[in-house]
Amino acid sequence: MTRTRLIIGSRGSALALWQAQWVQRELQGRFPGITIGIEIIKTTGDKMLDSPLSKIGDKGLFTREIESALLLHHIDVAVHSLKDLPTTLPDGLVLGAICEREDVRDVFIPHPRNTIRTLLDQPRGAQIATGSLRRKCQLLHLRPDIQPVDLRGNLHTRFKKLEQSDWAGMLLARAGVVRLGWTDRIGETLSLESMLPAVGQGALGIEIRHGDETTAELVRPLHHLPTAYAALAERALLRKLEGGCQIPIGTYGRVVDENGRQILRLDAVVGSLDGTRIVRGHIAGSVDAAELVGEELALTLLHSGADRILQEIRAAALSHTPEA
């Protein structure tokens, strides 16, 4: 079947539109005979900006409405930040492509008036803003004296909130800052040894309907195998740990060449909310068994004490859930 029109579904933030427009340009360059448009769809996560992500749940928070439009044939593809996409997709949807990853690391953005550019050199008791439990956990593990401040909103909103605050700075994913052209605001790019990223951080996921072979053929050229292997391992690890925005989990997968063989290496960390307890793990395996590699590392973490940390976090979350 020949397609003459393709509609991309996207959130409306500047970063989400950058991502959707990048996919639009890539597809348009390959298939100039197809009219490709973008449909902006507001998600639950875009509407609920007053509560921390950890308090409002995370299953499809930034994807559910877009996926519904895809299932209803209102759009043909959905473009997501892969770290927003739940590890289990709704029936009828599949990942048609995982695009090449941007830098996976986090960055410290100092307040414009703050002359101290590096995170660990901030004074005792400095306030650092982030909306991520993963970042808070690893930050407090590095600097227990730091005061984390909760931060929500798109990148423009976060930069504005920082400028209007007395915080020392904030933590963000480097990928989004680079994509929107704000690299001059970066004080420091954090090492992977000090701050492991979120699952899928820096990568784009293109979601399509299962069985839509025409669309699958169109998006297939955007699929980047090394990124896909790494992301599949990270997502399998998260799925096995049953984690998400409510659990401090960091992980980083990458494909490396060792003596002419492609090896998948995966690091991960699970920590308590206050950063006092951290369980780390590392594994290497075959790229052809990426999901098994992720699941094996998850089991290693659980047996090393992550199970107790996760049980405590979930029990605390349940105890703070109001009755219906």
Element (H, E) at 215: helix 213-219
pLDDT higher than threshold 80 for residue 60: no
pLDDT higher than threshold 60 for residue 263: yes
C-beta separation of 249 from 199 below 8 A: yes
% of the chain residues with pLDDT over 90: 85
pLDDT of 99: 98
d(CA 64, CA 142): 35
Q: What angle do CA 164, 169, 173 make, to 5 degrees?
A: 110
% of the chain residues with pLDDT over 70: 92
Task: List pLDDT tens digits, range 167-181.
Answer: 999 999 999 999 999
Average of per-residue pLDDT across 203-216: 97
pLDDT higher than threshold 60 for residue 20: yes
| 19-41 CB burial, b ≥16 within 10 A, e <16 | bbeebbebbeeeeeeeebebeeb
User: Dihedrals φ, ψ of 52, to 5°?
Assistant: -60, 145
Closest Cα to residue 249, out of 258, 240, 259, 261?
240
Closest Cα to residue 40, out of 21, 59, 60?
21
Task: List pLDDT tens digits, range 99-109.
Answer: 999 999 999 99
pLDDT higher than threshold 60 for residue 58: no
- Helix-, strand-, coil-residue percentages of the chain, each rounded to 5: 40, 25, 35
2 pLDDT tier (thresholds 50, 70, 90): confident
Q: What angle do CA 279, 281, 284 make, to 5 degrees?
A: 170
User: Dihedrals φ, ψ of 117, to 5°?
Assistant: -90, -15
pLDDT of 242: 84
Higher-pLDDT residue of 132, 245: 132
User: Residue 14 corresponds to which tokens in the numbers above?
Assistant: 């500047």
d(CA 151, CA 162): 9
Residue 212 bears catalytic tag:
no
- pTM of the complete model: 0.91
Instruction: Give the active site residue among 50, 58, 76, 84.
Output: 84
pLDDT of 246: 74
User: Residue 70 corresponds to which tokens in the numbers above?
Assistant: 């895809």
Mean pLDDT, rounded, of the chain: 92
